[in-house]
């Protein structure tokens, strides 16, 4: 039984009763009206998914215009509702006109019950697809608004490394080439992908995100390519996959390094052929997508070990964008911290909160092994727990163990070499680096020479 609502509108009470009995065999809720005057009332009080609408209601001239009038009223209320026209066999031209204006299909009287149910099932699938597409579009628009509130700074930043990343983003966004984004967990790979989409010619369409690490082997084809009813035990209805949902827009495959070799082969075939075949079907469906992939894995190393297909890597890696860890873009920490502070202080009704100088210094000196995600959570926690309008260093509990050195065994020389290299990369200024390390400029020069650091 489908948990949907069907509204049937027909002046002929015999037809109304007959349709109601047929539809009740499939749908949980059926509402009937013998007059269209109450359509708006029903739409306001019930979540209607499908409307079965007669075209010929009583009017001065009984030519079907009354039915088209009410169909337009339905679309004014919710253009995602699936409307099926019910009409006599002599009114096919009118039914075709209704389809051109947005109806999903029409049913001729007298009808064949199996064909009628097939038409209703198809209308239900279209309704589900429209709801999902609308929800995804709202999510995309909301995220876009959140990013724009921060002036795009959550993505761009002021550090040389992020400026370089955004220069690449701007160049590739205007094209349809496949992009691979690499970086540690929490560095903002999805945000970079969204920036590419938002700056592209596909920006008005959807960006569909798929976490490849969360899809089991058995559901891979169904999730990405879709399935038809009866394809397997639980396939009770037709379902479109992520590739079809992203048609005309962008498909973002996150954590692609988690795919098995078998799934990699199936994905490669689709990318080469530019069409998908739903599970249980033999009909090819053309796809038009812009592909962006992301991973925190070393795919080249995985190729050498035989865990990732070299041909798939070349297919997804036309352009490579490496998103730097937060510890390598220290200039961006104040920008990101203030952005997250504004978002969270507004969210929790504490607008106007500030970070004092010492708190900002504490955040800037932390290595952030969890990258942007860790910073975001730290700011949110501080906002929730703090009752004062200004956040101080004591409002932040940060891990004393650096993500750079944690769980690694090094000699003293190795640690000193890494500390100097990382600090130089972070600040890029000899005087500042010497000051941060607590040594003189000459001592720093001597150690750089010792470790052959340029």
Which CATH number covers residue 381?
1.10.8.60
User: Is the pLDDT reported for residue 141 higher than 70?
Assistant: no
For 239, phi then psi, to 5°, come to: -145, 130
Residues 312 and 173 in one domain: yes
Percent share of the chain, pLDDT over 90:
45
- Which helix (H) or strand (E) element contains residue 358? helix 357-365
Per-residue pLDDT tens digits for 152-165: 455 666 788 888 89
Q: For residue 166, what is the domain's CATH number?
A: 3.40.50.300
**Per-residue pLDDT at 63:** 55
**Per-residue pLDDT at 404:** 46
**Is there a domain that residue 52 lies in?**
yes
Residues 204 and 332 in one domain: no
Q: Give 427's pLDDT tier (boundaries 50, 70, 90).
A: low
Residues 299 and 266 in one domain: yes
Q: Please, are residues 49 and 82 in contact by the beta-carbon 8 Å criterion?
A: yes
Residues 318 and 330 in one domain: no
User: Is the pLDDT reported for residue 454 higher than 90?
Assistant: no
Least confident window among 103-112, 115-124, 417-426? 417-426
Identify the domain boundary among 288, 322, 356.
322
**Per-residue pLDDT at 52:** 93
Q: Give 61's pLDDT tier (boundaries 50, 70, 90).
A: very low
- Which of 58, 61, 118 lies closest to 84, judged by CA? 118
Identify the domain boundary among 303, 322, 341.
322
**Per-residue pLDDT at 173:** 94
Strand partners, 82: 50
**Is there a domain that residue 318 lies in?**
yes
Alpha-carbon separation of residue 211 from 183, 224, 257 (angstroms): 15, 11, 11
Residues 158 and 298 in one domain: yes
- Which of 7, 16, 52, 59 lies closest to 34, judged by CA? 16
Per-residue pLDDT tens digits for 364-415: 989 898 899 899 999 999 999 999 999 999 999 886 544 444 445 667 778 8
For 293, phi then psi, to 5°, come to: -120, 160
d(Cα 143, Cα 154) in Å, to the nearest integer?
Answer: 12
Per-residue pLDDT tens digits for 17-30: 999 999 998 898 99
Identify the domain boundary among 262, 292, 322.
322
d(Cα 198, Cα 173) in Å, to the nearest integer?
Answer: 8
**Is there a domain that residue 145 lies in?**
no
**Per-residue pLDDT at 402:** 46
Omega cis (within 30) before 284: no
- Which of 42, 123, 75 lies closest to 9, judged by CA? 42
Q: Please, are residues 106 and 85 in contact by the beta-carbon 8 Å criterion?
A: yes
Residues 249 and 374 in one domain: no
Q: 71: domain range?
A: 2-128
User: Is the pLDDT reported for residue 450 higher than 80?
Assistant: yes
- Judged by phi (left if over 0) then psi (alpha if -120 to 50, else beta), residue 226 lies in left
Highest mean pLDDT among 125-129, 155-159, 238-242, 320-324: 320-324
User: Is the pLDDT reported for residue 201 higher than 90?
Assistant: yes
d(Cα 171, Cα 34) in Å, to the nearest integer?
Answer: 59
Total domains in the chain come to 4
- Angle, alpha carbons 273-276-280 (nearest 5°): 135
Q: What is the DSSP string of 234-270?
A: T--S-B--HHHHTTTSEEEEETGGG--HHHHHHHHHH
Residues 188 and 208 in one domain: yes
Residues 198 and 305 in one domain: yes
Task: Tell which wins on pLDDT, 236 or 41.
Answer: 41
Per-residue pLDDT tens digits for 234-275: 778 888 899 999 999 999 999 999 999 999 999 999 999 999
Residues 240 and 350 in one domain: no
Neighbouring C-alpha atoms within 13 Å toward the C-beta of 340: 25
**Is there a domain that residue 348 lies in?**
yes
Tokens of 214: 């969360």
User: Is the pLDDT reported for residue 151 higher than 70?
Assistant: no
Tokens of 330: 């220290």
**Per-residue pLDDT at 285:** 92
What mean pLDDT is reported for the chain?
A: 85
- Which of 180, 189, 182, 196 lies closest to 271, judged by CA? 180
């Amino acid at each position: 039984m489908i948990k949907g609502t069907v509204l049937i509108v027909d002046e002929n009470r015999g037809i109304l009763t007959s349709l109601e009995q047929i539809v009740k065999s499939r749908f949980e809720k059926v509402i009937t009206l013998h007059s269209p005057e109450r359509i708006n009332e029903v739409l306001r009080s019930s979540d209607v998914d499908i409307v079965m609408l007669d075209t010929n209601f009583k009017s001065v001239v009984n030519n079907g215009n009354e039915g088209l009038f009410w169909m337009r009223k339905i679309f004014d209320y919710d253009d995602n509702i699936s409307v099926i026209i019910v009409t006599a066999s002599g009114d096919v031209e009118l039914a075709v006109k209704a389809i051109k204006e947005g109806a999903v299909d029409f049913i001729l009287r007298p009808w064949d019950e199996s064909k009628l149910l097939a038409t209703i099932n198809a209308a239900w699938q279209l309704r589900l697809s429209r709801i999902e597409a609308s929800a995804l579009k709202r999510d995309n628009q909301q995220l876009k608004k959140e990013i724009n509130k921060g002036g795009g700074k959550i993505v761009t930043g002021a550090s040389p490394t992020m400026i370089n990343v955004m220069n690449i983003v701007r160049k590739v966004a205007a094209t349809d080439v496949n992009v691979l984004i690499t970086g540690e967990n929490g560095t903002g790979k999805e945000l970079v992908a969204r920036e590419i989409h938002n700056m592209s010619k596909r920006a008005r369409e959807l960006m569909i995100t798929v976490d490849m690490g969360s899809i089991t082997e058995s559901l891979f084809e169904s999730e990405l390519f879709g399935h038809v009813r009866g394809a397997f035990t639980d396939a009770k209805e037709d379902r479109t996959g992520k590739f079809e949902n992203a048609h005309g827009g962008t498909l973002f495959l996150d954590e692609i390094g988690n795919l098995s070799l078998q799934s990699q082969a199936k994905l490669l075939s689709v990318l080469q052929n530019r069409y998908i075949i739903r599970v249980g079907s033999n009909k090819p469906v053309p796809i038009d997508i812009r592909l962006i992939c992301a991973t925190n894995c070393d795919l080249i190393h995985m190729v050498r070990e035989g865990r990732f297909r070299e041909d798939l890597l070349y297919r997804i890696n036309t352009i490579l964008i490496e998103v730097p860890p937060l510890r390598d873009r220290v200039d961006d920490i104040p920008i990101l911290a203030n952005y997250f502070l504004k978002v969270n202080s507004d969210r929790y009704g504490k607008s106007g909160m500030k970070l004092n100088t010492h708190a900002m210094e504490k955040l800037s000196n932390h290595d952030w092994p969890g990258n942007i995600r860790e910073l975001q959570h730290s700011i949110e926690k501080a906002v929730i727990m703090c009752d004062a309008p200004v956040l101080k260093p004591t409002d932040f509990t940060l891990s004393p163990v650096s993500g750079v050195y944690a769980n690694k065994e090094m000699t003293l020389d190795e640690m000193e070499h890494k500390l100097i290299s990382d600090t130089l990369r972070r600040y890029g200024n000899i005087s500042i680096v010497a000051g941060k390390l607590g040594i003189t400029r000459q001592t720093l020069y001597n150690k750089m020479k010792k470790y052959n650091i340029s």
